[in-house]
Structure 1
Amino acid sequence: MNSKQQIASVFLNSIGASMNAIEKVNKGLINDTFLVEDDNNNLYILQQINTKVFKNPFDLSHNLLRLKACIELHNIKLLIPDYLSFEKKLIIQHNSTFWRMYPYIQGLVFEKSKNSEMSKAAAMALGRFHNLGEHMSIEEFKNPIENFTNFQFRLSNLRSARKVGVESRINQTVGFHSELINHLKIIEEYCSIERQVPKRLIHGDPKISNFIFDASEKSTLAIIDLDTIGQGSILYDFGDMVRSFSNRYNESTSVKNNTKVLNKEILQSLVDGYISSAGCFLTKLERNSLLLSAKAVSLVQCIRFYTDYLLGDTYYEIKDDDDNLLRAKNQYQLFCELKDVNLIL
């Protein structure tokens, strides 16, 4: 019996069940994820936490417990994973590895948004999630990844990667780098606004695959992958949602310069849906900066992929050598199209 089987059995035994089967799930770029079946054919998600990314895994359970307590105290209709516990702990440490497990939430998960209705429903759910922060002291939340939403930190990493990265990759992408730095004023503008808006509870990774939809595909059942919840600006979350939902292509898809990747209808539906549920607490500056956030987050994600490519692919999982460069160019194309968009706010 290997480690993952042992850990799954420990969690299941704590609820009087035993393991029947386990298989790897190709999900996400960070944690290793497995689908577990117990002896009653119930399904669970088991994850090994990537400690290269999450240096203090127990901070994740700290945040989850506070989020769950708030939802229960205020009877808020927002479904999140109900993690199993062993000896009152949500995370099991096995040698130098860390694991957690929760019942599989039945529903539909997508890698790309199918239509505006789906996108609007998810944006409304994100707004409801952000509204949780109005019911609690966000200072209680620990930021699980240092500098995760710090854009100046991302720029500093890029400058460093250009000096110490893989020489051949640096030399082959001089032109691409030059294009990127021509747009850094947008990041500077975002950072200036970020300093002026309130710190709120954020999800940190509101991509489409982190929303579970019902059979109608028009309503969300749950928000998952809560590792990155913490303190920050809702502008980051909204911008990242736009980055994920409004791109017609998977972020690893190679796109030609004349290929349009931005779905403007979905972009508008995200704005409409988010404002409909978050408008009650948004400041005027936050509301007026939603489109700017989409531009800035897309550009910074491009920079993150490009930086990892220069450093030899040390952060994001890859299958092919050029995956991170393809991801960076895909994000850059999305940014370029967002740059010229006008929205009804």
Structure 2
Amino acid sequence: MKDLHFVQKLNDLYPLDLSTAKVSLFGAGHIHQTWLAITDSSSYIIQKFNSKVFQNPGLIAHNHQLLIDHLAFDELDFDFPLPIPNLKGRTLCLLDGEYYRILPFVPGICLQEIQAPEQAYLAAKAFSSLIATASSLDVNLFQEVIPDFHNLSMRYHQFEIALKKTSLSLHGELEKIVVFYQSQHDLVNQYQSWTKLLPKRITHNDTKINNLIFSADLTKVEAIIDLDTMMPGYVFNDFGDLVRTVACNLDENSLDFDSLKVIVDKYQALYEGFLEGSIDTLTKDEIASLHFGGEMMIYIMGLRFLTDYLNGNIYYQIKYENQNYDRAKNQMYLLKSLQQLGFNKQ
């Protein structure tokens, strides 16, 4: 317990008994440092908040408090584990210059990739039903915790600046990849058109499969987790990120470029599940925008990887020098595969 001195300090700040808790590092998250605390009666997640990634934790605490106070939790078919308020009613504690928080622990299984289209359906239904349930909240009260997170116009502008300033020689395959991303500029035009037309909703904004907890038999979503990016957004972003990370056969770090493709039955399961969870809430225009979302989210991530490579790999962590280049190439192949299926032209 020498290195877990903060646990006793937290025990004094919360209406919980952590004095005899068994505490151990938990999970494989890359942002916050996380521990599992097991007591005789309950289990909790303790997190040391990474304020380097989220530089204004107060905005996240603000949004979480709005959800705690106003979200109709009884309308959800799954748990939604928000931070537990401390004795002062706050969801963050400042200890020794670091922010900490405690959340309920939800047992179950976190998948890194789905094993069947049925799980894609369940995932999409859960994320979209969250949007539907949160639609009764005043979106204008929520803060944008990461400004312009999915702003395709801004990301393309950053790409253009990187092209002008890069010290790399744009020739050979790199030139072809740059030209491909430039040739997709119509997606920026579509983005601008949709954002003028659609309402903003409270969305998750990070709808990866490992942000869900499934039941042991994988037949039910037990919880949606990693709620720090809950903020105003567009529904096509949440659907699109599901397409990018769930409907593909290989992940964004794969080097098997010629094998990269969108799996049709996974895509269709995502679409059906997303509509099932929110059909009574979404407008006709929002439903029509969903297919654009898949292309848009693959494109924006490819742009971001390529921009970072051109800038000298200053944002994304890499394991080798050309990894962001390879990620951009990976997303290029995935975007081509999705466009060949023609969903966005329907």
Both proteins in one fold, TM over 0.5: yes
User: Do structure 1's residue 325 and structure 2's residue 333 form an aligned pair?
Assistant: no
Displacement of 1:223: 0.7
User: Do structure 1's residue 212 and structure 2's residue 190 form an aligned pair?
Assistant: no
1:20 partner letter: K
Q: CA, structure 1 residues 92+135, in 2 after alignment: closer, same or farther (shift >3 Å)?
A: same
Instruction: State the TM-score, normalized to the length of structure 2.
Output: 0.89
Secondary structure at the counterpart of residue 339 of structure 1: helix
Unmatched segments (≥5 aa) in structure 1:
none
Partner of 2:144: 143
The question of whether the paired residues in 1 share the 8 Å contact of 2:113 and 2:209 is answered with yes
Q: C-alpha separation between the residues in 2 aligned to 1:41 and 1:173?
A: 57
Alignment of 1:1-345 (within 5 A): 5-13=4-12, 14=14, 15-18=16-19, 19-23=21-25, 25-28=27-30, 31-38=31-38, 40=40, 43-72=43-72, 75-86=75-86, 87-165=88-166, 167-168=167-168, 173-256=174-257, 258-343=258-343
The question of whether the paired residues in 1 share the 8 Å contact of 2:206 and 2:229 is answered with yes
* More divergent stretch after superposition (143-152 vs 73-82): 73-82
Q: C-alpha separation between the residues in 2 aligned to 1:174 and 1:120?
A: 38
1:296 partner letter: M
Q: C-alpha separation between the residues in 2 aligned to 1:96 and 1:158?
A: 36
Secondary structure at the counterpart of residue 50 of structure 1: coil
Superposition RMSD in Å: 2.5
Instruction: State the TM-score, normalized to the length of structure 1.
Output: 0.89
Displacement of 1:190: 2.4
Q: CA, structure 1 residues 136+182, in 2 after alignment: closer, same or farther (shift >3 Å)?
A: same
The question of whether the paired residues in 1 share the 8 Å contact of 2:23 and 2:36 is answered with yes
Q: C-alpha separation between the residues in 2 aligned to 1:9 and 1:327?
A: 43
Secondary structure at the counterpart of residue 161 of structure 2: helix
Q: C-alpha separation between the residues in 2 aligned to 1:98 and 1:163?
A: 39
The question of whether the paired residues in 2 share the 8 Å contact of 1:59 and 1:144 is answered with yes
Displacement of 1:200: 1.1
Displacement of 1:128: 0.7
Unmatched segments (≥5 aa) in structure 2:
none
Secondary structure at the counterpart of residue 267 of structure 2: helix
Alpha-carbon displacement from aligned partner over 1:170-223 (angstroms, at most 9, x marks no partner): 668333211111111122112211210111111111111111111221211111
Q: C-alpha separation between the residues in 2 aligned to 1:191 and 1:228?
A: 22
Q: C-alpha separation between the residues in 1 aligned to 2:326 and 2:4?
A: 35
The question of whether the paired residues in 1 share the 8 Å contact of 2:33 and 2:50 is answered with no
Q: C-alpha separation between the residues in 2 aligned to 1:339 and 1:73?
A: 38
Q: CA, structure 1 residues 115+177, in 2 after alignment: closer, same or farther (shift >3 Å)?
A: same
Q: CA, structure 1 residues 255+122, in 2 after alignment: closer, same or farther (shift >3 Å)?
A: same
Q: CA, structure 1 residues 44+328, in 2 after alignment: closer, same or farther (shift >3 Å)?
A: farther
* More divergent stretch after superposition (102-111 vs 156-165): 156-165
Secondary structure at the counterpart of residue 11 of structure 1: helix
Q: C-alpha separation between the residues in 2 aligned to 1:255 and 1:157?
A: 28
* More divergent stretch after superposition (9-18 vs 265-274): 9-18
2:134 partner letter: G
Q: C-alpha separation between the residues in 1 aligned to 2:132 and 2:181?
A: 34
The question of whether the paired residues in 1 share the 8 Å contact of 2:71 and 2:137 is answered with no
The question of whether the paired residues in 2 share the 8 Å contact of 1:82 and 1:102 is answered with yes
Q: C-alpha separation between the residues in 2 aligned to 1:169 and 1:8?
A: 52
* More divergent stretch after superposition (127-136 vs 12-21): 12-21
Q: CA, structure 1 residues 221+74, in 2 after alignment: closer, same or farther (shift >3 Å)?
A: closer
